[in-house]
Structure 1
């Protein structure tokens, strides 16, 4: 279980160095948001480093890279701790409204006053303990994981990042040694496993600890942003709800899926663009862009979410008085598209076709479309 918090500290410490370039650590006394987003920033930077090494076929021992990152994280955390010790104690607790003197003299009364917060915090911690213990007690079981995502990482662990992987039809006709069902997908998730194996070796149970680490960071981010947008009471209640959703718990416990990473980075992007609309500052826009790019590095389906995100943002920027005309125009385009059975056009890379039954995009593949009612599945996922 210690590896979960070790990985959280590693990625948060390493990512905070880059995060501080964009946003102050102690802005609005919101250390939860800063610590959580630093984790995801660290993941982004490390995936980018390994992607670069892979693209240029630069051989490197992952243990060396891990040690460099670990040293950077330790230095960053020690520096943050030093700054914290130099900070006035009362200002550290400013966000709670409790002074050090009050904490020393009236600890029991303070606990009684905040008993509801204390109870909710206990619920969160107990549920986190359950999630982490389950994650660390199970081998790599999901089909998509051992068959696809993590199988790719295992190949690179034993044969190097420059080992060529191709789809099965290509593999039958080519000289490549290995094939993988996710060969055409982005490599962020396998690269995370390869990087962490620089310390843990190929111990899948230990490597799976990156998922509860990410979940802890996600909860901190969620709390920090809700607190900033609303207040601490709503933030804590929101974290309790997020912590106990069975569908999310499953994706954390059964490590190896890329979907929860896509969801996490999408949520970070939405939160930061909301802050940008409330307080237009370049750093929020930059964070949104970084987290959107991070999302694209995990799964091809992220492009769908990016398209929806851009469309929603475009409609948001339209003047409120004219927005209903924009909605009407969009509806008209969709109706024409459906009546004409879609549209297609040629590009230098191949034919693009988007119809009610199929999406065909060069380099991405062909995806068949069909209506599926998922209402009951969504409701079930919220409760059991």
Structure 2
């Protein structure tokens, strides 16, 4: 007999969402987190944007869970009084070539189900200027369903819901080994004390470390995907914000471009850029400031000199499957040929937006009822 029905490895926004969903279904749940706090890596080092579901390939996990998750996330934020703002977003073009990219995004958004009140609106230069006088663009797409949220308050609410439903969160508990079986066996270290635990079900939602437990097991190792790490720096704007909406350039190969986002106090930050890295290093690369200024001035030409201040950096995991765009990867019982086991890989943007939907899907795939 197992010690517990479910162990969730990782207490980022996805791990907490899974624990919340499972506990509220009546499943005995323990969350193991190696760090000293919840959500201290990918989940708290992003733009805190609630995404509309514009960029992702139709039928992809990103598209499906972003749209379903966004609706649930707005409802959840209202129910739990989590600070958020449905401020909207402009994706701006500064050339005919970029305008054609916008039109492609508009077509993709329709295929992804962004219709009715959520539908994107195409704007000409005059309409852009009316909405955002400081933005230079030949055209833009307005996304009314995009917003921002206090990610830390969101994770605290998820933790509170999970614990109220009986889940336990154990911090400073690094999982070093997972041996699949009936039940599964996990072992690790908690502040120097070795421990071992058995569970009927295990969900590994470890972000940048998603393949660690697969690499340590001879049977799981061949199933481990290639996950690369992409670092992004953020710079904050000193002084009053020039924008009322989020402002994004057209997307680039490795990301969404250096965009302007607002926080709930009205301050503006810019980022992220993209850099493939091997080691985890959260120091902001201040040498990137000139690149940021050049990129920002394409849509905000009047950016004053010396107004950008180093803010923070994040690292996001990416899974690139052959012949496909980067997407979430969920390896569940079918893919792993093992009951009660799931690994989540490449949960980058729009993971925050998709969190509640992903959690329901994972619990369903493990038949946690």
Query: TM-score, with normalisation over the residues of structure 2?
Result: 0.26
Determine which structure has the larger strand proportion and give its number.
2
Query: TM-score, with normalisation over the residues of structure 1?
Result: 0.25
Determine which structure has the larger helix proportion and give its number.
1
Q: Of the two structures, which has the highest relative contact order with CA contacts closer than 8 Å and spacing of 6 or more?
A: 2
Report the structure number with the largest CA radius of gyration. 1
